Amino acid sequence: MQDNENKSHENDNDEHHLPANGDNGTESHDHDHDHDHDHDHDHVHDHDHDHDHDHAHNHEESFISKYIFSLDHKMIGKQFLLYGLIMFFVGGGLALLFRWQLAYPERPVPIIGASQQYIDDGEVVTAADRMWEKIFDSDKEEWLEVNMPSGVIEPAFYNMLFTMHATIMVFFVVVPILVGAFGNFLIPLMIGTRDMAFPVLNMLSFWLAVLAAIIMTAGFFVPGGHAAAGWTGYAPLSADPQWTGVDWGQNLWAISLLIQGFSSLVGSINYITTVINMRAPGMTFFRLPLVIWSLFIVAILLLLAFPVLSSALALLIFDRLAGTTFFSSTAEGGGDPLLWQHLFWFFGHPEVYILILPGMGIASEILPVFSRKPIFGYHSMVYAMITIAFMGWIVWGHHMFQSGMQPGLGTFFMTTTMLIAVPSAIKTFNWLGTLFRGSIRFTTPMLHGIAFVSMFVIGGLSGIYMANTPVDIYIHDTYYIVAHIHYVVFGGSLFAIFGGIIYWFPKMYGRHMNDTLSKIHFWLTFIAFNCTFFPMHILGVGGHMRRISNPMQYEFLQGFQGINIFITMSAFTLGFAQLILLYNFFWSMARGKVAEKNPWNVTTLEWEAPTPVPHGNFAQIPTVYRGPYEYSVPGEESDWIPQAQPEHAPATGGD
Amino acid sequence: MDIWLPENVSTFGQGVDNLFILIYWITLIAFILVTATLIAFLILYRHRPGHKATYIEGSTKLEITWTTATTVIVFGLALLSYPQWNRIKSPTELPPADVVVEVSAKQFNWDMTYPGPDGEFDTEDDLQLENQLHVPVDKIVHIRLTSVDVIHSFFVPNLRLKQDTLPNRFITVWFEATKPGRFEIPCAELCGFQHSGMLGYLTVHSQADYDAWKAERWPPQ
């Protein structure tokens, strides 16, 4: 009887506002009253009254207020998703360019490299040339000649490519999608409220991010080219234009990240306030779905970590533009290049957890749903995330073992870093425990969830090598670390992102993504991903340095050319596979199978809202009666009990 | 094609390699166990009509077991690593030098300065060579690392030695080569547009060869 997902609780809503253990019921109870939207005058703010279910549709919205300067958390979430996906293709394209150079050093890049003829004859010869000409007009020749003379990637351009690949992927893809898109879309829906605490700040957060992305992209076209000091921007290379020849590119890089920092800051304040104050009645902290826990923890990390990067960037800009010497020990003035590294990594390591924790959260939603089982060890999952977040603050020195930092500190940081293996292992074992004696359905989101777990295991285990100071002496700054970060951030976060997109797509756009295309995309990505990044471990063990543009310059790397070609081929396949996702995403938005309200039979609140979700989300604010993972409860006919279903459903009787 | 660690030619390198191999086995076994369990679960507990999932919320006993087991393993690993790390990098455990060379990194070369017969730097008999580091086998060599511009990283894969160089700061590292030969010294930290290709050579001489090399550079008066 409870398998009817439309099972409504309106009839007995009045009797059930607060369950006995609703320890934060008071805050939750009155949140509706502070929740005045300028654009939603017809909201009925008191959830104890029955009111017009179509209230959101009464209000005419202009195109601009609905799709562009939207205050609706769902629209802002979708905007962030689109933003992240566009930047994902920019960042990925940059990677393919430098992968070409690594496989075929000093050979012209195909298609773009055909412009050689253009440069020689001054004639438009290929479609690519016509495209380039349109984009750059008369500057085109000059731009290509500087960066890719004869179609070959210049070493300086190579440095810009990998610098911007990492910068874009970290700051403009993974964080905006995980935190911006999923955070915005899911938090109000899953905690049972109508919108974020500060909708205007929310909009500001998105448009600041757009501004940051425009500035970051513009950096490619300023004289001197873009930032070329790595995404870590180590001073003094980044602090003085004379060392790289990059002038405004590096400035724009710093300014763009400062703005992105403001965007994150505003967003995180919003998330924290919303989660603390606006949970539906009965939604205690320990009834929060794990993805909300992860986003809540990440918001706190962002709030505390990003200002550290912002201050470092401000000092960097002073060094570059105002002649200060915070990061320079050669000039008079008493700065120190290691100061940058301490500041950067004090931000940077929590940032790494910002990149992975929401992925863990998404996996923790997907696995129980498609195993039809409660998550194994809910409380230890929460404590493990909190532990990871705390320990993330005391491990930054492991990026600096070989930097000249006092080696005694290395001993301390090795110990703390190794200890992070403990909560990570707890999480992995709990995911396995979730599958144990389940009833596993291999839907596409589930495939991504399982891939997340297995890839995260590889990424986690390979981290132990770098955490170990003596071994790190050898593999530091080699492809071993490149393999590790990609197993964590691509194998981990991106598989979670793909899974999350497919899983929540029906709620976001009211339609399903095409399952055949999704499955093809999954298998191609899974195989090509492993073929791309697993061999990098082998390169790393062989001593292959990262950030070199031509391995053939070294005798000891001659034997690795074959592996480099194989990696490049796999990377191109991986890139191609993402086009399937892109096509499927847009095609399904318009043409996909129409989704019902709760297609996966999920217990959490976002599936209580109608599809498509109207402004204000819920006809009535739901009341929460139980934890988020009540699947296959013994004695129940249905294998799932929604969080919002009252304790004693009329059909099952009661006292 | 060699897809394992390159040949080790330093006294402390074996310690690094042993730890690497130990971690290799630990992680390999952990990976196989976790992946095998995962695959077994996926097959055993796949959805079949008529079979319902079992409601299990967790197990405190299991949580305590795997928390303790992981903690013991990583602490054990850390304890094994402390002595190796201190031996290679600790300034207080630096063994006394037989030979000292100053290596100054600059975009995009290694300047190697030899103190000459008087054993003192900044004297007239100093010898500066670009990208050529000559040392005797089986002797403790100190390298005084510094940089004149940006951060570089002195990396000798075959010695299992890597140390960033910092402008205006001297960091002393040491090694004792166990075998004569010629080995590459790439720069491992991004240092500018020609970072790729910044490359020096370490030549480890037998004692007799080293004496001959010295006699050639500093002819006896």
Closest CA to B201 of A155, A92, A555, A258: A555
B194, closest residue in chain A (CA to CA): A155
Of B12, B14, B28, B151, which to mutate for an interface test with A (greatest number of A Cβ within 10 Å)? B151
Are the beta carbons of A466 and A478 closer than 8 angstroms?
Answer: no
Query: Is A419 among the domain residues?
Result: yes
Distance CA A410, CA A351 (A): 20
Contacts across the A-B interface (CB distance below 8 Å): 285
pLDDT attached to residue B5: 93
Half-sphere exposure in the Cβ direction for A7 (13 Å, CA): 22
B171-176 and B140-147 strand pairing: antiparallel
Task: Point out the residues of chain B with pLDDT beneath 70.
Answer: 1-2
Test B66 with A426 for CB contact under 8 angstroms: yes
CA distance A633 to chain B (A): 6
Are the beta carbons of A44 and A616 closer than 8 angstroms?
Answer: no
Give the long-range contacts of residues A336-339, CB within 8 A, separation 24 or more: A337/A234, A337/A235, A337/A236, A337/A239, A337/B150, A337/B151, A337/B166, A337/B167, A338/A400, A338/A403, A338/A404, A338/A405, A338/B166, A339/A235
Shared domain check, A97 and A119: no
Look up residue A166 and give its amino acid: A
B117 CB neighbour count, 10 Å cutoff: 13
Shared domain check, A171 and A114: no
The one-character DSSP state at A9 is -
Shared domain check, A396 and A362: yes
Task: Point out the residues of chain A with pLDDT beneath 50.
Answer: 1-58, 124, 650-655
Q: Which of A562, A591, A620 is the last residue of a domain?
A: A591
Closest CA to A270 of A537, A71, A103: A71
Query: Is A606 among the domain residues?
Result: no
Shared domain check, A200 and A112: no
The CA radius of gyration of chain B, in Å to the nearest whole number, is: 25
Helix pair angle (B13-44, A407-435), 10° resolution:
10
Shared domain check, A581 and A466: yes
Query: Mind listing the pLDDT tens digit for each residue in A168-214?
Result: 999 999 999 999 999 999 999 999 999 999 999 999 999 999 999 99
Half-sphere exposure in the Cβ direction for B109 (13 Å, CA): 9
Shared domain check, A227 and A113: no
H or E element: which one contains A503?
helix A495-509
Q: Which residues of B touch A403 (CB under 8 A)?
A: 151, 164, 166
Shared domain check, A118 and A233: no
Query: Is A487 among the domain residues?
Result: yes
The strand pairing partners of B113, in sequence order, are B102, B128
**A554 interfacial to chain B (CB closer than 8 Å):** yes
Query: Is A15 among the domain residues?
Result: no
Query: Mind listing the pLDDT tens digit for each residue in B91-128?
Result: 999 999 999 999 999 999 999 999 988 889 999 889 99
Query: Is A289 among the domain residues?
Result: yes
**Structural domains counted in chain A:** 2
pLDDT attached to residue A117: 52
Shared domain check, A542 and A560: yes
Test B55 with A553 for CB contact under 8 angstroms: no
Test A330 with B148 for CB contact under 8 angstroms: yes
Distance CA A400, CA A446 (A): 38
CA distance B147 to chain A (A): 10
pLDDT attached to residue A122: 54
Q: Which residues of B touch A226 (CB under 8 A)?
A: none
Shared domain check, A418 and A494: yes
Q: Which of A552, A569, A591 is the last residue of a domain?
A: A591
Domains belonging to chain B, first-starting first, are 13-91 (1.10.287.90), 99-217 (2.60.40.420)
Are the beta carbons of A239 and A313 closer than 8 angstroms?
Answer: no
Closest CA to A88 of A446, A574, A621, A518: A574
**B132 interfacial to chain A (CB closer than 8 Å):** no
Of B4, B32, B57, B166, which to mutate for an interface test with A (greatest number of A Cβ within 10 Å)? B57
B160, closest residue in chain A (CA to CA): A474
Shared domain check, A78 and A113: no
CA distance A280 to chain B (A): 24
pLDDT attached to residue A222: 87
**B54 interfacial to chain A (CB closer than 8 Å):** yes
pLDDT attached to residue A630: 94
The domain of A125 spans: 108-151
ipTM above 0.90, yes or no: yes
Q: Which CATH number characterizes residue A238's domain?
A: 1.20.210.10
Test B89 with A407 for CB contact under 8 angstroms: yes
Query: Is A213 among the domain residues?
Result: yes
Test A477 with B162 for CB contact under 8 angstroms: yes
Query: Is A303 among the domain residues?
Result: yes
Query: Is A368 among the domain residues?
Result: yes
Closest CA to A252 of A305, A297, A211: A211
Shared domain check, A125 and A208: no
**B96 interfacial to chain A (CB closer than 8 Å):** no
Query: Mind listing the pLDDT tens digit for each residue in A606-655?
Result: 999 998 899 899 999 999 999 999 999 998 888 899 999 987 554 444 43
pLDDT attached to residue A137: 55
Shared domain check, A456 and A477: yes
